[in-house]
């Protein structure tokens, strides 16, 4: 008796979400064929020149209708896979490349190193003024911000990190090495660099905060106690506190900013490519060119400059985590931090007086 199939390997190579996109793209393409009075069963038997011409017409129709270029690319990829004509649709891909060149350049806006310092210090100061669950999330943001910048992580990779993915220098695995290792499972570029990749963290402050945070976590506990919406909400609250809400920074800015900082500090494309896990030097060069151009194209508001300078002046107070260990019971809705950390009392949050009161309007 023949064994049951374990599944199509072409399908198993992709995630479930990407498979859904391909199916949706193929359905959209079949709808386009129907509007041209062409049946799919007839289309698939025609010559490669006819298929290429019809796919190019589909791309043109998508472009003329102001629809998503990404959706058009997914549809063409679905047709290629279904008909097994990869590498034979030259006119179609030339049209898609032309479409890409017509789009305005929207690079991920990076920020400078002093702004990065201000971001995690701002989150740290905000954590010192709150309690319970809010404080717990802000401390997690400090760790995530540092990891994203120095590890060049993508936002989706950060949200999937668990305690078992972290090996800190004082563990049995690494011994007394001066760098931490973070394992990235199923990353975006897994088809090129493997389904499991690693990142070396060599920044001493980031290692200290990471070691402090993972202590007491279960192996399957996520590093950040929440989803993308929660992380984005906390990130936006820090930006608003620092008067940077209108600057266009996103969670992806940490990777862009870390790459530009690394390149300006070391000037070594090879090491940067390996550290950031880019699949090719060409993609990294394009990434850096756009990032550096964007870095020089914006101005920081004067009020934000004053706040950032104050936070950077008190940066030494936050280089090491609190003496009190985090109470991870908070992620289950129980407990509280035993006491607020006192080692960074000198770093006041923006708008706070030395006594901790909120600054109000000047009295007449």
Region for residue 5 given its phi and psi (left: phi exceeds 0; alpha: psi -120 to 50; beta: otherwise): beta
Confidence band for 341, pLDDT divided at 50, 70 and 90: very low
- State the average pLDDT over residues 66-70: 91
Q: Determine contact, residues 196/171, Cβ cutoff 8 Å.
A: no
State how far Cα 123 lies from the chain centre: 18
Q: What is the pLDDT of residue 174?
A: 52
The rounded distance, in Å, linking the Cα atoms of 138 and 119 is: 11
The rounded distance, in Å, linking the Cα atoms of 249 and 332 is: 31
Cβ-Cβ contacts under 8 Å for 323 (sequence gap 6 or more) = 341, 343
Confidence band for 76, pLDDT divided at 50, 70 and 90: very high
Report DSSP state, residue 182: E
Q: What are phi and psi of 166, to 5 degrees?
A: -110, 130
Confidence band for 349, pLDDT divided at 50, 70 and 90: very low
The rounded distance, in Å, linking the Cα atoms of 49 and 46 is: 8
Count of alpha carbons within 13 Å of 147, Cβ hemisphere only?
33
Would the pTM of this model clear 0.75, i.e. be above it?
no
Higher pLDDT, 292 or 238: 238
Q: What is the pLDDT of residues 247-287, one digit of tens each?
A: 889 999 999 899 989 998 888 888 999 999 988 888 888 77
DSSP, collapsed to helix, strand or coil, labels residue 127 as helix
Domain boundaries, the chain: 12-102, 113-159+224-332
Q: What is the pLDDT of residue 353?
A: 47
The rounded distance, in Å, linking the Cα atoms of 156 and 108 is: 15
């Amino acid at each position: 008796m023949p064994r049951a199939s374990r599944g199509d390997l072409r399908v198993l190579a992709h995630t479930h979400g990407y498979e859904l996109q391909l199916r949706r793209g193929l359905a959209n393409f079949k709808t386009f064929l129907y509007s041209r009075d062409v049946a799919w069963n007839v289309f698939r038997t025609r010559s490669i020149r006819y298929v290429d011409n019809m796919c190019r017409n589909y791309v043109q129709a998508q472009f003329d209708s102001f629809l998503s270029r990404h959706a058009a690319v997914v549809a063409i990829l679905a047709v290629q896979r279904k008909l097994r004509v990869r590498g034979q649709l030259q006119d179609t891909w030339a049209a898609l490349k032309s479409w890409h060149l017509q789009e305005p350049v929207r690079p991920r806006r990076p920020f400078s190193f002093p702004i990065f310092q201000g971001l995690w210090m701002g989150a740290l100061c905000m954590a010192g003024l709150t309690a319970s669950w809010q404080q717990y999330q802000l401390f997690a943001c400090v760790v995530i911000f540092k990891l994203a910048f120095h590890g060049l992580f993508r936002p989706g990779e950060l949200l999937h990190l668990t305690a078992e993915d972290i090996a800190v220098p004082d563990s049995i695995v690494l011994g007394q090495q001066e760098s931490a290792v973070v394992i990235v499972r199923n990353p975006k570029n897994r088809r090129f660099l493997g389904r499991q990749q690693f990142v070396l963290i060599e920044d001493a402050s980031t290692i200290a905060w990471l070691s402090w945070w993972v202590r007491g976590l279960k192996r399957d506990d996520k590093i950040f106690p929440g989803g993308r919406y929660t992380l984005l909400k906390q990130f936006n609250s820090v930006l608003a506190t620092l008067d940077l809400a209108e600057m266009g920074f996103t969670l992806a800015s940490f990777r862009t900013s870390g790459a530009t900082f690394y390149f300006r500090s070391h000037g070594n494309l090879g090491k940067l490519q390996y550290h950031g896990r880019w699949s090719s030097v060409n993609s990294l060069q394009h990434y850096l060119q756009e990032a550096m151009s964007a870095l020089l194209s914006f101005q920081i508001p004067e009020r934000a400059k004053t706040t950032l300078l104050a936070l950077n002046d008190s940066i030494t107070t936050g280089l090491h985590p609190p003496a009190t260990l985090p109470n991870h019971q908070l992620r289950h809705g129980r407990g509280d931090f035993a006491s607020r950390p006192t080692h960074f009392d000198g770093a006041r949050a923006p708008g706070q007086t030395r006594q901790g009161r909120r600054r109000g309007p000047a009295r007449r």
